[in-house]
Amino acid sequence: MKVRTPAVAGMFYPGEPHHLEQLLERFFFETGTDAGGDARAIIAPHAGYVYSGSVAAAAYSTLPRDFDGTFILVGPSHAGYPTCASSIPWETPLGLVDVDEPFVRALRIPTNELYMRDEHALEVQMPFIKYRFPRALVAPVMMGLQDLGSAAALGARIEQAVEETRRDVRLIASSDFSHYVPAPLARSQDLYAIEALADLDLELFYERIAERHVSACGYGPIAVVCTVAEGLGAHHARLVRYATSGDATGDRASVVGYAALAVV
What are 167-209's pLDDT values in tens digits?
999 999 999 999 999 999 999 999 999 999 999 999 999 999 9
Distance of CA 129 to the CA centre of its chain: 11
| Mean pLDDT score across all residues of the chain | 97
pLDDT at 1 over 90: no
Residue 32 pLDDT grade (very low, low, confident, very high; cuts 50, 70, 90) = confident
34-263 to CATH, choices 2.60.40.180, 3.30.565.10, 3.40.830.10, 3.20.20.70: 3.40.830.10
For the segment 222-233, the average pLDDT, to the nearest whole number, is: 98
The whole-model pTM stands at 0.98
* Dihedral over Cα of 128, 132, 134, 135: its sign: negative
For the segment 83-93, the average pLDDT, to the nearest whole number, is: 98
pLDDT at 7 over 70: yes
pLDDT at 35 over 70: no
Is 49:79 a contact under the CB 8 Å cutoff? Answer: no
Q: Is 109 left (phi over 0), alpha (psi -120 to 50) or beta?
A: beta
> Which pLDDT value is given to residue 88?
98
